[in-house]
Structure 1
Amino acid sequence: MDVVWLLVDSLSFSTTSFASDGPDTMPELKTLADEHAVTFTNAYVPGPLSPSSHASMFTGELPSAVGMHEAYPYFDQNITTITERMAETHNTSLFSANIWLFQGLERGFETKVNFSGPDLPYPLATNPEDYFDAGAVPELYTIWRFLRSDGKPIRSLLNYAAYRRQSDVDKAHRHVSRINDAIRKTRAETSGDDYVFANYMDIHPPLSASEEALERFASDIPEVELPIDVSPERHIKNAEKSYDVEAMERLYRAAIWDFDRALAPLVRDLVLDDVFVVVTSDHGIWNRNTAYEDSRLHVPLLVFAPDEKSRTITQTVNLRSLPRTIDQWVNDESEFNGVSLLDVESNQMSVTEIIHHSNDVYERTGRVDVTKSNHHDRELQRDIVLIQNGARVDYVSGEWTSSGKASTVSRLRERGEEILSQPVLMGDRELTYDDVVRERLEELGYI
């Protein structure tokens, strides 16, 4: 049986059509889910950002036990991943525009394609992004330097032609169409069962959207005032940003609507072909003052399982149970932690761990940052959020806060104290990034 796991980076539950009071940003996927999916309305992430959330979702372990989190964004532990489990019986493919998936989590994938750069016919020839701004008219001297730079002028010219064509395509589909095509091609060309993990970054800034989407979600904002193709200023408080935060959120909703129209046809084809499909996110919207807000931790979760009746599950769950869910469905049994989400009948205890080095970004903004170099001499800040059936317990900066039913709060607090008594696993790898990765980090607002 084929398994395709589609992860939409930075998608908050509250900004989708699946929320009862949410905007109508995903009408096509919502219609498809109503017909075929098990829809979870109270699903939470195991970590606040990509490194911790992905690592936990791949292993079924808490970030502190995986060893990959915001304080050490690299996976190098001897822990079995769902990819390695699926590799025993499936062809495994990773298609991602998220660079954090190539920091150790690509282990076990036979095919690995990084979609964070332009789609070039000759990757070994000169990359036009190193010389040109996609939106600017190039100078003749720049073109001459570009063609002479590596001794492959014909191939470099063909790369440039492809790059210019891409810049003229609706940027709302800059990654999704390429990744969708890769999924379709892989399933058509491989024999045997496929396990595919795809990570889309189309709704993570820098953002753009079609004219139709902007008309729907930002018609009262002049296009020149929308922060199109602007990197998120993560290191600055919302009130101090160079762009209007409300305008960015409108653009975000428009981008989701465009993305829905591009993704839903692929999902429908997969479902009609009896593929086990998961659609979810690693965390919610980035444009908030802290990593602890519900809009960061509460995400959509759809599971399309052959022969499973469509239904809505309102019980609390955590994405850390996805490895067990997939493994149990495919192999009838699993050694991954958690529960099979398709068998959930009661509220589960959701745990989100926030492990990071407190730095000037956190001190200024309250936002968790990802460590970009080794800081083993810097004290860790370890926070935790536990949620179950409307009750919530937070441990942030050494202080406990809670809300909800007293008996549930007591259980959550007890579990939180138990987790905090356990050590945090970290590797000792020297964290270094090449120029391409560092440039991508800067574009995404991490640097």
Structure 2
Amino acid sequence: MRDSNEGDRESHTSVRNVVLVVFDTARAKSVGPETTPALSSLAAEGTTFENAFATAPWTLPSHASMFTGRYPSEHGAHGGHTYLEEDQRTLAEAFADAGYDTVGVSNNTWITEEFGFDRGFDELRKGWQYIQSDADMGAVVRGEDVREKLQATRDRLFEGNPLVNAANILYSEVFQPAGDDGAARSVDWIGDWLGDRDDDDPFFLFCNLIEPHVEYDPPREYAEQFLPEDASYEEATAIRQDPRAYDCEDYELTEREFSLLRGLYRAELAYTDDQLARLREALEAAGEWEETLFVVCGDHGEQVGEHGFFGHQYNLYDHLINVPLVFHGGPFTGGGHRRELVQLLDLPATLLDSLGIDDPELLEQGHGRSLHPATHERRDAIFAEYAAPQPSIDRLEARFDEVPDRVRAFDRRLRTIRTHEEKYVRGDDGFERYHVLEGDPNEETDLADDDPDRVRELRERLEEQFDSLEDAGASGEVEMQAGTKDRLADLGYL
């Protein structure tokens, strides 16, 4: 992937470390100077990709694509197979084998060793725990009242080390800062880790910050910046936030309630952005900033009432797959705004190319293209897929008894091809829709019946892209720990 102008490339490649920060659930349309000034500052100094897309609309398959350079059909980690298999080469493994210290901090339960994401990391921390433990006391944190909290404490306290469990409960119930879901604590830990390092090895640092994810519960001072003038913090935070229950018509939300939820969501982005600024300060204080390639992206987006949905399941609208992507440092310094179509699965190729690391196994298994400014290969389309419902329709039936027909219809695989001008989505049940984006950026007008010839062309290209990909087995779902199930349920996945 290298071009002939190697001298120019080397003159701009002065970084030795990589930091990859994921704003969980950040959609591209909701970031900017008002909500994310620190990220906007990074973009002004570095390079921002205005048309970056995830390969999937939720955490597990999207992160797996970021780590492997592969589509969900290839890496197999999705709603029907919730584990990243060991035969998938990962970005952390490539950096570890190249002599890097590799550290991860995850605040999302999916991105842990339980689901195969620890390979290659010297340490992959669970950001929601004060003391690292295999036992998750999240059920106590999520108790609705004192009775539920006491019951969860009785049920879980003696799983593993009771003293450690008690310390985690005490922290979450008494000492954890209001409105923080782990971001501040994660940045604190990273700052300490940077200060305590006593070797000269370069490092690869991964950090998932989950605050923009349901439930939206930002600190009051952030919420009040983004709520309508006639709304109170108490009114907004009292709104029920249960995406699967909303989708299944267990309760309703008014447009006003959605407007308040959007305000809380933007406040969460702003709070996370402030933690991003603190992370930059920690790198500067450690003397590592100038030698670090710093990358920030969303892993997927969010629907907050758009198209009648709440959360990030069952669809491939741009609200769910168009994400922010910003590079700062090294060859991306002063790169400005780039409008070409890019994908998060381009990250492995880009990071290895930018650091001069040769890892044929990782590069050859995937479909990534380096975004290094000296590389001139461009995409004319991106692809994404929703491989299986999460949670499954069976799980929804077990919880709600009755599942609306409109949700039952989403018991299917969806795939999409998107160009700058058009978007085509097809389901394995024959469903299809087609949009001309210039006049329909929110994908509200289906023109599939109006231009059958163009629809056929896009369908054939979509089939050509994915026909060669083997379906992942549907029987590999991981048997989760009870605490993990509770935490995922709280995030709206189960």
**Same fold by TM (over 0.5)?**
yes
Contact 1:318/1:350 (CA < 8 Å) preserved in 2? yes
| 1:401 partnered with 2:414 | no
* One of 412, 418, 427 as aligned partner of 1:381: 412
Runs of 5+ consecutive residues of structure 1 not aligned to the other structure: 19-23, 370-379
Q: Partner amino acid for 1:306?
A: G
Deviation at 1:274, TM superposition (A): 2.1
Distance 1:136 1:79, change over 3 A: closer
Deviation at 1:135, TM superposition (A): 8.6
The Cα RMSD (Å) is 3.6
| 1:105 partnered with 2:117 | yes
| 1:45 partnered with 2:54 | yes
Give the 3-state SS of the residue equivalent to 2:323 in structure 1. Answer: strand
The whole-number CA distance in structure 2 between the counterparts of 1:76 and 1:153 is 32
Deviation at 1:155, TM superposition (A): 6.9
Matches within 5 A, 1:31-180: 31-34=41-44, 36-88=45-97, 89-102=99-112, 103-116=115-128, 118-120=129-131, 161-167=170-176, 169-171=177-179, 173-180=180-187
The whole-number CA distance in structure 2 between the counterparts of 1:58 and 1:148 is 34
For 1:143-192, what per-residue CA distance to the aligned partner results, in whole angstroms no more than 9, with x for missing partners? 9979996999877765555344434x231x33111111232233333421
Distance 1:252 1:239, change over 3 A: farther
Contact 2:224/2:233 (CA < 8 Å) preserved in 1? no
* One of 200, 211, 219 as aligned partner of 1:210: 219
For 1:120-163, what per-residue CA distance to the aligned partner results, in whole angstroms no more than 9, with x for missing partners? 4x859x98766577896789x98997999699987776555534
Partner of 1:373: none
For 1:18-77, what per-residue CA distance to the aligned partner results, in whole angstroms no more than 9, with x for missing partners? 7xxxxx21122212321x221011101011111211111111111101111122121115
Distance 1:138 1:259, change over 3 A: same
Deviation at 1:303, TM superposition (A): 1.0
Give the 3-state SS of the residue equivalent to 2:246 in structure 1. Answer: coil
For 1:214-263, what per-residue CA distance to the aligned partner results, in whole angstroms no more than 9, with x for missing partners? 22211322323213695432243397635533322211111111221221
For 1:381-402, what per-residue CA distance to the aligned partner results, in whole angstroms no more than 9, with x for missing partners? 3221111222212113423332
Contact 2:248/2:404 (CA < 8 Å) preserved in 1? no
Give the 3-state SS of the residue equivalent to 2:332 in structure 1. Answer: coil
Contact 1:391/1:408 (CA < 8 Å) preserved in 2? no
| 1:390 partnered with 2:390 | no
Partner of 1:339: 369
Partner of 1:21: none
Deviation at 1:363, TM superposition (A): 5.8
Give the 3-state SS of the residue equivalent to 1:342 in structure 2. Answer: coil
Give the 3-state SS of the residue equivalent to 2:21 in structure 1. Answer: strand
Distance 1:129 1:106, change over 3 A: closer
Partner of 1:299: 323
| 1:417 partnered with 2:463 | yes
Contact 1:58/1:82 (CA < 8 Å) preserved in 2? yes
Runs of 5+ consecutive residues of structure 2 not aligned to the other structure: 1-15, 397-402, 438-450
Q: Partner amino acid for 1:401?
A: R
Partner of 2:260: 247
Distance 1:144 1:313, change over 3 A: closer
The whole-number CA distance in structure 2 between the counterparts of 1:389 and 1:382 is 23
* One of 240, 245, 257 as aligned partner of 2:270: 257
Partner of 1:374: none
Contact 1:39/1:301 (CA < 8 Å) preserved in 2? yes
For 1:253-285, what per-residue CA distance to the aligned partner results, in whole angstroms no more than 9, with x for missing partners? 111112212212313554733211110011001
* One of 303, 308, 313 as aligned partner of 2:338: 313
Partner of 1:275: 292
Higher mean Cα deviation, 220-229 or 149-158?
149-158
Distance 1:435 1:220, change over 3 A: same
Q: Partner amino acid for 1:421?
A: D
| 1:327 partnered with 2:338 | no
Contact 1:205/1:230 (CA < 8 Å) preserved in 2? no
Identity of aligned residues (%): 24
Deviation at 1:328, TM superposition (A): 1.0
Instruction: Please give the TM-score of this superposition, normalised by the length of structure 2.
Output: 0.75
Instruction: Please give the TM-score of this superposition, normalised by the length of structure 1.
Output: 0.83
